Amino acid sequence: MPGNSRAAGTHHSRPSSSEEPPDLEDQELLLAAAYVSDAQYNRNVPFETSPQAIRLYHFYNHWTMRAATYFFIWVNLALALFEEPAVFPLPFLVTSIAEVLCLTAFFGRLVHFAKVTPQKVFWKDTKNICVMVTIVLTLIDLVIYGSLEAVNIRGVRWSRALRPVFLINFPESRQIRRTFRSIRNTLPDILYVFLLFLFSMMIFSLMALKLFGDRDLRTVEGSPYFTNILDIAFELYVLVTTANSPDVMMPAYELNWWYSLYFITYIIINTYIFMSVFLAVIYNNYRKHLKNEIHTLAYLKHHKMTEAFNILKVKVGTEFVVKEARWRRLVKVVAPDVSSSHLELLLRISDEGQKGHVDKVNFLRLADLLNIRVVAINIKKHPLETWMPRVYQSSTSLLVQKMVQHRQVRWSQIFVWVYDVIILINAIFIALDEKDSLISYAEWLFLSLYIIEILLKLYTYEPSAYFGRKQFWNWFDTLIIIAALLATVANTTIQARKYNSQQVLDIVLILRILRLLRVIVSIQRFRVIVTTLINIGPTMLTFGGLVLVVYYAFAIIGMEVFHGKIHFLDPGSGSPDALVCGNPALKDSAFAQGRYCKNNFNDLASSLILLTELTVVNHFALLADGFALVTHQAAKLYFIGFHVVVVILIVNIFIAFILEAFFVAYSLEKSEVETAIEKKIQELGVGVQEEEVQDGGLIDNMDAKDSGFSADEGDNKKKDLKGLYFRIASKKYKTVDTLLQQMFESEIAPEGKDPSLKEILNFSPKKVNFDNSA
């Protein structure tokens, strides 16, 4: 990238790194490591390049600082559980002190960020302004609310709805912030569809008013039917969700069956056509904006890696390269936990010709290399083979091992088939009456067969490899068997002692049923689907954070508006208020008759449960009508707003996002970098295929030869890595960005056609000033 200043991160070539003073070399290494780390984790933080600022920036990105920030964010959000209206009430003084401590931590984090960022950039960053304004508003609200509490006047804690601002606007939450930005960019595109939908709904509302308004029809509760245009609009909006179908149609339908055609036409146009168009428009535009975001990240990553290369490069012959020693030190600074064997593998990939240096093309791949999860497998002999080799290698023993290794030996899949049948028969027995003695004895038989299966696998596979840190399915299978054993023993004990605790019996029953989850382990296609879902878990968590932010804000608003309006009273108490949910306004209402009294906004937990019910949409109109009766008809706007934001917008975007991520994780081939790593692993003779370790089978079909790297004859500096093999983890990514980038990898500009920094920033929805900054 062109540039003249040291602050911009562009360095001129040097004859040799050894000619530099040690302090200068360390400073340059830290600066280059900052660029590489930012490229690896797709951070877009402009930082000062002075030695002190670089050290502060490394400390700013340290995992302990990020963990502390998240801790205070979650504590701040959780305070709503202890503040009035509270699930677990605490004095106002305690919660206010805790909130002030959280605000102090946020302010300290902001000051730390200001120390590493150029002032001009810091004060132009909207995120920083939002955090500062929220801190000031929260302190003002605390003072006002505390003053009112001192004179026994109930105030409104309006600043609590702003607490998600901290979750969104700190740099650590860039995934959630990117999602909000994509939603903001998508809104103009869906606004026209939404306006057209509202226009269609109003046309049908006017038609309903003219058709049914003067016919003196009544609802089942005895209320006038379709006589008010606002009530009609609300009922038709709810009809789009199907929550009040067919109830809303019945008075007109009873009058004349022809009127059903009006409602059928409305449902076809607004429920099926418009809602499908909503999903299509949201999916298309969200993907387009996400693509632009990922393109920007990819170009910025390339820019940062180029800057890091320019800092460390030296001229060798006619080209600029990075010496092996500096490359090693750089990797150790960026990834201090990387093992020596993994480091050696990365060097072999980057320095293909074993020339003692890394060229620019291979250096620019370093961030991607660090994001590919390479699993190192230390090949060991089975302990039984060491203790009793003749017995373990006997023909009978080898036959047992081949039967168990069903994924490696095609003709001996009878082992897994037998156990699949056993699981299915066990499912039938679980559904039968367990009081029958035959069923009770059968439970022990099935359990014994499962334990035998685990023991056979431990006999076949080396135990430490079978229970390796990455062997998720082996752990899953074993834990299910242990749970089944505990459930069977507990069930036998309970029956013998006639213990009748319903909670304990429920736990035992659940543990027994969980045994059937073993069918997921047995059927390969099930495993692939579940593994894919696990792999896209981080992307789901991104939207989990988004949903949490929206739910939290609506919950706080709901508590302030509807707190204390509805109460749950035990119907067995004999209190007449129990029949009207503690509010006479609900007398004879469908809300009270349906005993929905627990659906209230009297604390955070109840509010979140109610919002979840509204997201499902069932009985949406009934719940909204109940709160409108105890407050005002305008309260329905709260529920309509929640439905528009969460169900129509966020849920549709969530569907689009998960579809895209699932398709990528499930069907895309490995990236070019993964292919390069895999190729080098195989060239070095230290490769293990994924299917060879699927069940922990790490040694039985491996060649017994030395598994170290075979160095060239003239290369005596490298140590052989005895007994070590590698494989790429099956479609597992360290970051969400790495997964998303797979979608657009082929569209990244080829080498030599990279855009300038100005062009890169033009891709981004937010321009950043890089003057006097990294």
Question: Which pLDDT value is given to residue 269?
Answer: 93
CB neighbours of residue 59 within 10 Å? 13
Query: 650: which DSSP letter?
Result: I
Query: What whole-number distance in Å separates Cα of residue 688 and Cα of residue 744?
Result: 29
Cα–Cα distance, 14 to 307 (Å, whole number)? 15
- Picking from 480, 484, 481, 478, the residue whose alpha carbon sits closest to that of residue 512 is 484
- Is the pLDDT score of 267 beyond 90? yes
pLDDT at 506: 62
Q: For residue 665, what pLDDT is reported? A: 62
Report the pLDDT averaged over residues 400-428: 69
Q: In what order do the strands lie in the sheet with 357-359?
A: 314-316, 319-323, 357-359
Q: What is the pLDDT of residue 479?
A: 81
Domain ranges of the chain: 46-170, 179-288, 294-382+672-684+721-763, 386-522, 536-670
b vs e for 446-457, b when ≥16 Cβ sit within 10 Å of the residue's Cβ? bbeebeebeeeb
d(CA 270, CA 283): 18
Q: How many helices (H) and strands (E) does the chain have?
A: 35, 5
- The residue with greater pLDDT, 373 or 301, is 301
CA angle 522, 524, 530 (to 5 degrees): 95
Mean pLDDT of 759-773: 41
- Give the other-Cβ count within 10 Å of 694's Cβ: 16
* pLDDT higher than threshold 80 for residue 698: no
Q: What is the pLDDT of residue 490?
A: 74
Count Cβ atoms within 10 A of the Cβ of residue 505 and give its class: 0-12 exposed, 13-18 middle, 19 or more buried: middle
pLDDT at 616 over 70: yes
Question: pLDDT confidence of 752, banded at 50, 70, 90?
Answer: very low
Residues 117, 119, 121: CA angle, nearest 5 degrees: 70
Is the Cβ–Cβ distance between 11 and 27 less than 8 Å? no
- Which pLDDT band, with edges at 50, 70 and 90, does 724 fall under? low
In 3D space, the residue among 340, 348, 385, 384 whose CA is nearest the CA of residue 369 turns out to be 348
β-strand 314-316 against 319-323: which pairing, if any? antiparallel
From residue 17, alpha-carbon distances to 24, 323, 333, 350 in Å are 10, 8, 17, 19
Determine the Cα–Cα distance for residues 187 and 582; give it in Å rounded to an integer: 41
User: Chain-wide mean pLDDT for the chain?
Assistant: 77
Higher pLDDT, 35 or 523: 35
Helix (H) or strand (E) holding 28: helix 22-40
Q: What percent of the chain has pLDDT over 70?
A: 74
179-288: CATH number: 1.10.287
Residue 289 tokens read as 């904006």
- The answer, yes or no, to whether residue 712 has pLDDT greater than 50, is no
SS (H, E, C) 413-476: CHHHHHHHHHHHHHHHHHHCCCCCHHHHHHHHHHHHHHHHHHHHHHHHCCHHHHCCCCCHHHHH
Q: How far apart are CA 581 and CA 627, in angstroms?
A: 11
pLDDT of residue 503: 58
Q: What is the pTM of this model?
A: 0.73
Mean pLDDT within 351-358: 84
Task: Identify which has the larger pLDDT, 428 or 147.
Answer: 147
pLDDT for res 68: 93
The pLDDT assigned to 688 comes to 47
More confident residue, 16 or 417: 417
Cα–Cα distance for residue pair 725/686, rounded to 1 Å: 5
Q: Is the pLDDT of residue 4 over 50?
A: no
Question: In the block, which residue shows the tokens 């593998």?
Answer: 345
What are the C-alpha distances in Å from 700 to residues 377, 386, 509, 704, 724?
14, 14, 39, 9, 15
- The domain defined by 386-522 folds into Four Helix Bundle (Hemerythrin (Met), subunit A) (1.20.120)
* pLDDT band for position 739 (cuts 50, 70, 90): low
Whole-angstrom distance, CA of residue 228 vs CA of residue 246: 20
Q: Average pLDDT in the 223-249 region? A: 89
DSSP letter assigned to residue 412: G
Q: Which residues have a Cβ under 8 Å from the Cβ of 497 and sit 6 or more positions away?
A: none
Given a contact cutoff of 8 angstroms between Cβ atoms, the answer to whether 522 and 416 are in contact is yes
The alpha carbon of 266 is separated from its chain's Cα centroid by a whole number of angstroms, namely 37
Identify which has the larger pLDDT, 304 or 681.
304
Q: What is the pLDDT of residues 645-666, one digit of tens each?
A: 998 888 887 777 777 767 766 6
Tell me the pLDDT band of 501, cut-offs 50, 70 and 90: low
Q: Are strands 314-316 and 357-359 parallel, antiparallel or unpaired?
A: unpaired
pLDDT average, residue stretch 566-572: 83
* CATH code of the domain occupying 536-670: 1.10.287.70
Mean pLDDT, residues 150-165 taken together: 88
* Whole-number pLDDT of residue 703: 32
**CB neighbour list of residue 356: distance below 8 Å, 6 or more residues apart:** 323, 324
Least Cα distance to 96 among 82, 111, 110 occurs for: 82
* 179-288 and 536-670 in the same fold: yes
pLDDT at residue number 738? 58
pLDDT tens digits along 306-349? 999 999 999 888 889 999 889 999 999 898 888 887 788 888 88
Residues near 558 by Cβ (< 8 Å), separated by ≥ 6? 601, 607, 610, 611, 638
Q: Does the pLDDT of residue 710 top 60, yes or no? A: no
pLDDT grade for 514, boundaries at 50, 70 and 90: low
Q: Is the model's pLDDT at 605 over the cut of 70?
A: yes
| pLDDT exceeds cutoff 70 at 211 | yes
